[in-house]
Amino acid sequence: MPMHSHPLLSSYSMARREQEDYLLSTEIVNRGIEDSGIYAGSPSFSVRVRRGLPNFLTSVNLKYVRLGYGYLLSHGFYLLTAPLIILIFTAQLGKLTYRDFSPVFHLTDALFLIAFLALILYIYLDLSPRSTYLLDFACYRPPNHLKISKHEFIELARKSGNFNDAAIQFKQRVLKNSGIGDQTYMPKSVFRLGYSPNLKDGREEAAMVFFGAIDDLLAATQIRPKDIKILVVNCGVLNTTPSLSSMIINHYKLRHNINSFNLGGMGCAAGIIAIDLAKDLLNAYPASYALVVSTEVVSNTWYGGNDADMLIPNCFFRMGAAAVLLSSFRLDRWRAKYELKQLVRTHKGMDNRSFKCIHLKEDAEGKQGLSVSKDVIEIGGHALKANITTLGPLVLPVSEQLHFFTNLIFKKKKKPYIPDYKLAFEHVCILATSKKVLDEIQNNLELTEKYMEASRKTLERFGNTSSSSVWYELAYLEANTRVKGGDRVWQIAFGSGFKCNSVVWKALRNVGRPKRSPWFELEDSQ
């Protein structure tokens, strides 16, 4: 029985030497029956060796640990000065008596002390960064006529005549193991004969998902469009003139002096980047509202050729959008759902393999599409490891950090102790890319099925909606009344560049079942 060698086998010995940094996965592929040569009539197999997610238990890069503590200490001024000021206030107030406030005894001294304390309090509140509150968010659910099953997807692709038999078979294999269900949404216009991305279809899809999500958000929060001072829109592939943010401003007649930003080409991680930008703008413009809108326009990511590495996004990307309303009003704490606690961004673009692993290109026939490297899981794993190592000092309990450092300094084993991130969060929302990626992350972070449920259910029900995916996952938790006051929610997103971003929210109250959610079956969804 012949064994045809795979090109990756030549680097097998090298990969063995790197097992401290990489996980190798093997796959035996049945290539059918040989139809010619001396082995005619015999079954033929090949062995593929792939790099998977790096084993987080075998290496810890201390520079990312130091970076995390650097973030913590950069905000240490406020943590250290607050108790000191409170102590001084208490000591001084303890010396005062009724006579100090009497119009007869030491009135000038008492007034001076009160004014001094008020000045210190004002300076402290003015210098300290304002909290960023998440009032509410909404995720768009397309109408039912855009639902597409995996079987219908393959049949429409076959009937379109845009793909050869090998491409159709490749899509079938990918969809079979994708974790995607049969009720996701797609613009079926992409299956037209000879279809190529165009501005008309892109703008129409963007308008549908944008306005649907924003309408639901404004209805839920009762915020007037003219009260929104900051607008941040992110969409990876579709970038038009006027911009997508201008489309929203025109539709809702937002204020003429609005601070608007349009983020493009930043992939699935752009949703958290948009939150980071909005947070900084809210600090610059106190007592303001910021609207963040995240999407990916599927009709513009569609690829109509036959290159395997460019067919993968076709199989996973689905329609969707999220609109998020943030506030820097201090009084909004009493009506907001969440408070932003930490946000850590990691960018691996300085490495050429990371930079090129996901990129927009044209194939030999000039057809445009997103190319996904076979090394994307390995590269994404390294970005994820760097990100969570930086995030750890900001979120982990002191006991876990002491355990980690004690083991690191006095270690007798080769494998360092990796902190238990389940102690830092009650809920985890991982970008719903594919079943394989979710499985790898679950194994490396040792997460239970309860932590993975929102991500897996979102992938099954809505597919990969790119930068809005983590919001569909949070919507799932809310629809099932899982979020209680004080719970910490960790959203993780990664995308081209290569980037991995984390944001941590703290629930300010028990979040009840929302009136409207993409997870509810609605009578008007037709």
Q: Where are the beta strands (DSSP E) in 250-335?
A: 259-264, 289-295, 321-327
In sequence order, which residues have a C-beta less than 8 Å from that of residue 226 and are 6 or more positions away?
A: 253, 254, 255
Complete DSSP assignment for 324-353: EEEE--GGGGGT-SEEEEEEEEEE-TTSHH
- Taking phi first (over 0 means left), then psi (-120 to 50 degrees means alpha), and beta for anything else, what does residue 481 get? left
Q: Which one of the listed residues 235, 268, 357, 500 is annotated catalytic?
A: 268
Q: Which one of the listed residues 300, 314, 387, 427 is annotated catalytic?
A: 427
Per the annotation, the verdict on 106 as an active-site residue is: no
Count of C-beta atoms within a 10 Å radius of residue 219: 13
Rounded alpha-carbon distances, angstroms, from residue 83 to 73, 77, 78, 130: 16, 11, 9, 18
CA angle 25, 171, 175 (to 5 degrees): 70
Per the annotation, the verdict on 145 as an active-site residue is: no
CA angle 233, 234, 236 (to 5 degrees): 150
CA 381 to mean position of chain CA atoms: 15
Please check whether residue 495 is in contact with residue 218, taking contact to mean a CB–CB distance below 8 angstroms. Answer: no
Q: Which one of the listed residues 262, 306, 347, 387 is annotated catalytic?
A: 347
- The DSSP H or E segment spanning 119 is helix 107-127
Q: Which one of the listed residues 162, 262, 314, 464 is annotated catalytic?
A: 464
Three-state secondary structure of 428-466: EEECCCCHHHHHHHHHHHCCCHHHHHHHHHHHHHHCECH
Per the annotation, the verdict on 198 as an active-site residue is: no
End-to-end Cα, the chain, rounded Å: 55
Tokens of 327: 């506030």
Please check whether residue 253 is in contact with residue 215, taking contact to mean a CB–CB distance below 8 angstroms. Answer: no
Which residue in this structure is represented by tokens 């600090």?
A: 283
- The DSSP H or E segment spanning 490 is strand 488-495
- Dihedral through CA 91, CA 96, CA 97, CA 100, nearest 10? 180
Helix (H, G, I), strand (E, B) or coil at 423: helix
The strand pairing partners of 502, in sequence order, are 344, 492
Known catalytic residues?
268, 347, 427, 464
